[in-house]
């Protein structure tokens, strides 16, 4: 069982233990797109959906001929049958200045084991006190400073998660996941038009339960009857927020995604 491992794809093969050079713009400027893929018993979860999003992110944010690189990423690094954790798959802008076109991108993978950590049935969240800029066209990039700062602030204040609002005060997401809430008996989620990330587990929730995409004032979130977030590591996680506790919708979805073994 691996605890952690890195790979760089070179010459059509994955080189285990390889690292990105410091000249890569992913390190210098955060110019890379990525997907976080759950791994359960050595098998990747929702792989086709993640690769489709990675292709779209690369087309949106990274110019140049990336199709061959991404096609090679379909052959993922070798994992052990007892590996459970997260595989992050990156496509970088390669070397160059910020304005240079993408000519020689790199594909990088990082696996991190979750070990035997048992997740609780619910966690806590607060609304991040600072407004945030929209994500890059709703795409996941390696420039995660804003999300890390929000999550760190929440942790320092004794919470598990930070919920984020844009400069107009509209709820957009959690720092590390998509967010859903029930309002007047209706399941809602921030609209993709707000540059919300189209997460794979968000898509799973939409298919299972349906939800109305809304532009909702984050300051009014206390009017919700329940709130939950979702991501590839936690699956569906009901939240305690401002006196609001876990509800029937989030609990049922969490039970379903765990029962179907769709999380690490």
User: Would you place residue 63 in the very low, low, confident or very high pLDDT band (cuts 50, 70, 90)?
Assistant: confident
Nearest to 7 by CA among 89, 86, 108: 108
Asked if 105 and 61 touch (Cβ cutoff 8 Å), the reply is no
Mean pLDDT along residues 183-201 = 97
Mean pLDDT along residues 77-99 = 94
Which of 21-35, 51-65, 101-115 has the highest average model confidence (pLDDT)? 21-35
| pTM given for the model | 0.93
Answer yes or no: is pLDDT of 137 > 90.
no
| DSSP per residue, 11-57 | TTEEEET----TTBHHHHH--EEEEEEEEETTEESSHHHHHHHHHHH
First to last CA, the chain: 14
Ordered by where they begin, the domains of the chain are 4-113 (3.30.470.10), 123-259 (3.20.10.10)
State the pLDDT at residue 62.
87
Mean pLDDT over each residue of the chain, to the nearest integer: 93
pLDDT higher for 119 or 177?
177
Pairing of strands 178-183, 226-231: antiparallel
DSSP 8-state symbol, 194: G
State the pLDDT at residue 115.
77
CA 58/CA 39 separation, integer angstroms: 23
Q: Where are the alpha helices (DSSP H) in the chain?
A: 25-29, 47-61, 67-73, 145-156, 200-209, 248-259
């Amino acid at each position: 069982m691996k605890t952690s491992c890195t790979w760089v794809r070179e010459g059509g093969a994955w080189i285990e233990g390889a690292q990105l050079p410091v000249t890569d713009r992913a390190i210098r400027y955060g110019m890379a797109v990525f997907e976080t893929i759950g791994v359960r018993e050595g098998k990747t979860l929702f792989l086709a959906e993640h690769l489709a999003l990675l292709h779209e992110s690369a087309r949106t944010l990274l110019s140049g001929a990336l199709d061959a690189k991404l096609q090679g990423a379909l052959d993922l690094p070798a994992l052990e049958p007892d590996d459970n954790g997260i595989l992050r798959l990156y496509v970088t802008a390669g070397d160059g200045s910020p304005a240079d076109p993408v000519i020689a991108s790199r594909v990088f993978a990082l696996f991190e084991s979750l070990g035997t950590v048992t997740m609780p049935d619910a966690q806590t969240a607060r609304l991040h006190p600072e407004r945030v800029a929209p994500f890059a066209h709703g795409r996941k990039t390696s420039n995660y400073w804003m999300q890390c700062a929000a999550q760190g602030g929440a942790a320092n204040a004794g919470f598990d998660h930070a919920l984020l609002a844009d400069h107009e005060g509209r709820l957009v997401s959690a720092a590390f996941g998509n967010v859903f809430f029930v309002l007047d008996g209706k399941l809602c989620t921030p609209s993709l038009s707000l540059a919300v990330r189209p997460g794979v587990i968000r898509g799973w929730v939409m298919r299972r339960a349906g939800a109305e995409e809304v532009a909702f004032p984050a300051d009014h979130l206390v009017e919700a009857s329940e709130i939950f977030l979702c991501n590839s590591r936690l699956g569906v996680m009901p939240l305690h927020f401002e006196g609001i506790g876990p509800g029937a919708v989030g609990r049922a979805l969490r039970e379903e995604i765990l029962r179907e073994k769709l999380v690490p």
